Amino acid sequence: MDYIKLSKILSYALRHHPEKYGITLDDEGWADLHELLPALDKSGFSNVTMADINFIIDSFEKKRHEIKGGKIRALYGHSVKKRIIKPVAIPPPVLYHGTSAGSLGSIMERGLLPMERQYVHLSAKPDTALVVAARRKGPVCLLEVMAPAAAQNGVLFYMEENNIWLSGPVPPQFIKISNEKI
């Protein structure tokens, strides 16, 4: 079985288009595994088992999904219209966001926006933010978010797995270009 492809389909279904797979997400992004397994069969994978799903969750270095009580969810990256509820957390002093150099002017003017996702994605580690930025074409920039000051001014932060943080829009006064070497 192609577990990488299955993981991508799983993420696509749970993050972006559950309706295409006949599954429903609750307010926290959970889907019933009894709905998901047959839906994956219809998407080109035959006989997907719980062992296959567990292998993806347990074996991949970057944790993208979790299972609890017969349900599964994507940890972050949602673009579904229904807002996924997350518990608010106190952020560290600095969070990082990697972006293309071409987006820098807009970000410094308008701030960090979730764009087509529900939340802005940030990292507790600069190297993780740069890996994400490197997926874009051209030169990249590393930004630092002064998270406690932003939180004091109403920006909500949510901690996820893998040192990933989510937030609402971050105004430009809480963002600076990092001096970290790229």
What single string gives the DSSP state of each residue in 12-66?
HHHHT-GGGGT----TTS-EEHHHHHHHHHHTT--S--HHHHHHHHHH-SS--EE
Give the C-alpha separation, 170 to 172, whole Å. Answer: 6
pLDDT score recorded for residue 149: 97
The DSSP call for residue 69 is T
58 and 100 fall within a common domain: no
69 and 109 fall within a common domain: no
3-state class (DSSP) for residue 153: coil
CATH assignment of the domain containing 158: 3.20.170.30
Angle between the N-to-C axes of helices 33-42 and 3-15, in degrees from 0 to 180, rounded to the nearest 10: 120
pLDDT score recorded for residue 50: 85
Inside any domain, residue 162 = yes
- Reference 146, options 71, 97, 94; nearest CA is 94
56 and 122 fall within a common domain: no
Which helix (H) or strand (E) is 99 found in, with range? strand 95-100
Inside any domain, residue 85 = no
100 and 165 fall within a common domain: yes
At residue 96, what is the residue type? Y
Inside any domain, residue 90 = no
51 and 124 fall within a common domain: no
Which helix (H) or strand (E) is 176 found in, with range? strand 175-177
Give the number of domains in the chain: 2
pLDDT score recorded for residue 182: 58
7 and 51 fall within a common domain: yes
Residue 60: give the domain boundaries.
3-74
The DSSP call for residue 77 is -
Cα 118 to the chain's mean position, in Å? Answer: 9
Blockwise average pLDDT, block size 10, the chain, 182 residues: 84 83 82 84 77 84 81 73 77 94 92 88 90 81 96 94 88 92 59
60 and 112 fall within a common domain: no
63 and 116 fall within a common domain: no
